[in-house]
Chain A
Amino acid sequence: MTSAPPWSIIACFAVFGMLAYAAAALSAAMNARESGTPAAAALTLPGRETARLLIRQRSVTPGADPMLARLGTGLLPLAALMSILVIPLGQHAISDLSVGVVWFNAMEVLAWAAVWMVGWGSNSSWGLVGANRFLAQGLAYELPHMFALITAAVGAGSLRVSDIAAVQGQSGHLWFVVYMPAAFLVFLLSALGFAFWGPFSQPLGREIAGGAAAELSGIDRLLLLAGRYLLLTAGAAMAVPLFLGGGAGPLLPAWGWILFKTGVVLAVLVWIGHRVPAVRMERFTEISWLVMLPLTILQALAVSIFVLVGWM
């Protein structure tokens, strides 16, 4: 495996940055539509919000642990960027690790630490409640999420993300979403979960004054929000090589298909965020452990049998 040239790393991050901005802009436009203001004007809103946050003073609460909180806010976008490393944007990823799926999972779990550090470090009741909500949420979605990832890896017989995508591009192979629909749906749900978006946005809940972000201002808030959209983008982008055939498709080059599919998945995730109210973790944990977990185990079992029998 040849290592990617430096310019392609920058280009890759730029592309993901633009996708994350597009997600934020789409969400802002939907907000505007819902409240009866022109949606087109809202497309620049994430940029204007960035400008606003860049010049805002940081806020520090008495007894806070600013070091911990700032490590957390910095860690979140960093975790998202590091998870992007293994996602192929063309034929190859920036760093096509042989354990890419595990790497992605590990980076996404870093977000647990990041959000918790932010909430705890700000020494606010709301922050603390929000931070611990995210941990509870992680416990709820993480196990089904890991089984969903493993199912895709089993189907391809490799933990390398580009291998998983390549298998689906071979003739006689369908996209993995056909073989493993339950794993795909669970993956999308957990993408909403680790980006604390939409139905899983309670760690930053409105009813706890913004939760883990309640005390964030200025650059800290900017990093947290950017990290959140980058995580959502990373989740959408990862669904493409795992379940949607990677770059496979007619006419367009591989990177074109990957961008298109990523955009569609991202738009669906943003749309779900506006369409579905938040679920409370105390009720969702029941679903995730009693329904989703057995479902993903059965899915993994079924795919393992397919592989043994030679159907895929």
Chain B
Amino acid sequence: MELTSRLLALGVPHPFVITAPGFTAVRLAVEQQIRERGWQEALSPADADMLVQCGNGRTEFNDAIDRVWHQLPAPRTRMLITVPEGAASSLDSAAAALRDVEGLRRAEANRLDAPAAHGETNAAAKDDAAKDDTSEADTTDHADMDSATPGTGMGDMGDMDMDMELPGGLPMADRGADRDGLKLDQLHLVLGPALPDWPTGLVVRLVLQGDIAQSAEISMLDADPGYRPHSCFWAAALGVAERSEQSEEPRRYKLARAAASADSLQRFLNVAGWPSAARTGRWLRDELLDAARRNSPSTGTAALKRALVPRYRRWLRTVRRSQVLRWSTAGLGLLELEQLNPGQLDDRVSSGLTGDVTARVLRWLDDVAIVLDPAFRPGPESGPASRTADNRAATARAALAALPDMLAGQELASVRLIVASLDPDIEALFAAKSAPRRPHD
């Protein structure tokens, strides 16, 4: 007892963050808090002791949250954060809850699915609604519980003969013809919505054979009609900066765009297996965003100075010049102009999407370099106007349309790299749907 509470006090929390579309501002605040506290983000529910829910979603989102909550081993705590200002205090109270032995014991007393307590693998399917205050009585069947990983419910299982006793009561994999004409097991893997470094609100349903994606089906989280209007964080940040462009602070627009690009970059670097660079990218994003938000010129300049220290220029140079990174992404996810239906697209939209993974990443690096490096001049193809506030939605729409064809036939690691290099802004799509249509959207 004494020892348990001492060990609890020593531990550093590992939060698992899930974001609802429309709550990017909350995610950014939470990520900044986690970074500054030196906490380590959990990659899977099994490693997490803190479930951080950024914003409210609807049925699909809540189901995903409940499934993830099921999978968190004790000691655990969960919280909902809906406004960026609430991030610090919510994380404080969650950390306190993780040190309160009595409270944790009370919370776990009613847990029926405790894997270690029962030692039976099928115990996980029991309902834990008893202690789950926000629960929608998540009586998921085994199929949904299967892989017990972020966002991986098994999709359609085919017609299975369930009489046979199978491990964990799970149905067997179905088989299908692969590209070489062999019959291979198919695995249905759902990427998103609860997956680290994944675009918020995107769901990709893969049919895998081995680790090759045979087909990919793209959907958006809770994309039912009649959903209340979303706001798009980045479009709003860019829009505010755009309007103030002519007046007092001409750099704010560039800063906001650099922050948006740094956010996509840190995500991509994590997916590319370079968490060290991603951490600095996240730090830089927070500094840029801070500078872009300042209204008065004096505090804005002070914030900008923090972003202009040599550390970030070194980081930019390292990432840009990394031969290993280029070598492992070159030629991947090539998107030609013809695939994008150029007739209906703004030139600025298509020029932001074409090329391979490396080309798209270099464009983000250019956006950041424009701010960090006064001597930097972007190349002709990376037009600085390529991702303004208005066409974020159009870019996301074009990317989603191109994705299924791009992902089919790719290996799982490539699938993640391609999605990360497009980083479709689902929020912008929702926002565009609810906002009055603009002529070029």
Contact = CB atoms under 8 A, between A and B. Distances in A.
B365 interface: no
Interface string B34-64: 0111100001111101000000000000000
Contacts of B75: 55-57
A207 to B, nearest CB: 4
A194 to B, nearest CB: 17
A283 B325 CA distance: 12
Contacts of A199: 273, 324
Nearest to B168: A63
Contacts of B208: 125
A61 B276 contact: no
A125 B149 contact: yes
A58 B413 contact: no
A216 B412 CA distance: 21
Nearest to A127: B149
A60 B43 contact: no
A206 B420 CA distance: 13
Contact of B147 (A52, A124, A132): A124
B128 to A, nearest CB: 14
A181 B124 CA distance: 54
Contacts of B411: 282
A222 to B, nearest CB: 11
A278 interface: yes
Nearest to B38: A37
B140 to A, nearest CB: 11
B204 interface: no
A210 B170 CA distance: 23
A202 B280 CA distance: 20
Interface in A36-60: 36-38, 41-42, 45, 47-49, 51-52, 54-60
B12 A45 contact: yes
A236 interface: no
Contacts of A273: 276
Contacts of A61: 121, 124, 146-148, 168
Interface stretch (B87-95, B189-197, B234-242, B343-351): B189-197
B439 to A, nearest CB: 39
Given A126-B147, A215-B46, A216-B46, A62 B170 contact: yes
Contact of B276 (A34, A63, A132, A208): A34
Given A124-B147, A214-B44, A35 B280 contact: yes
Interface in A155-214: 199, 201-202, 205-210, 213-214
Interface residues of A, number: 61
B50 to A, nearest CB: 12
A241 B37 CA distance: 41
Interface stretch (B223-231, B264-272, B373-381, B421-429): B264-272
Contacts of B115: 57-60
B35 A37 contact: yes
B125 A62 contact: yes
Interface stretch (B2-10, B156-164, B294-302): B2-10
B34 to A, nearest CB: 9
A62 B146 contact: yes
Contacts of B167: 63-65, 123
B322 A207 contact: no
B68 to A, nearest CB: 11
B124 A277 contact: no
B333 interface: no
A202 B413 contact: yes
Given A125-B147, A202-B413, A216-B47, A48 B211 contact: no
Contacts of A215: 44, 46, 148-149
Q: Which has the most chain A C-beta neighbours within 10 Å: B167, B196, B275?
A: B275
Interface in A62-110: 62-66
B38 A207 contact: no
B12 A214 contact: no
B256 to A, nearest CB: 21
Contact of B114 (A31, A57, A214): A57
B147 A51 contact: no
A280 B196 contact: no
A218 B117 CA distance: 14
A30 interface: yes
Q: Which has the most chain A C-beta neighbours within 10 Å: B115, B147, B150, B328?
A: B147
A130 to B, nearest CB: 10
B196 A49 contact: no
B272 A277 contact: yes
Given A125-B189, A280-B413, 10 more contacts: A34-B279, A38-B38, A56-B74, A62-B121, A63-B166, A66-B121, A123-B168, A126-B149, A277-B277, A279-B328
8 contacts: A31-B276, A31-B279, A56-B75, A63-B168, A123-B147, A125-B208, A126-B44, A283-B328
Interface of A: 30-32, 34-38, 41-42, 45, 47-49, 51-52, 54-66, 123-126, 129, 132, 199, 201-202, 205-210, 213-218, 221, 273-280, 282-283
Question: Which 3 pairs of residues, A with B, have the shortest CB-CB distance?
Answer: A278-B273, A63-B168, A52-B11
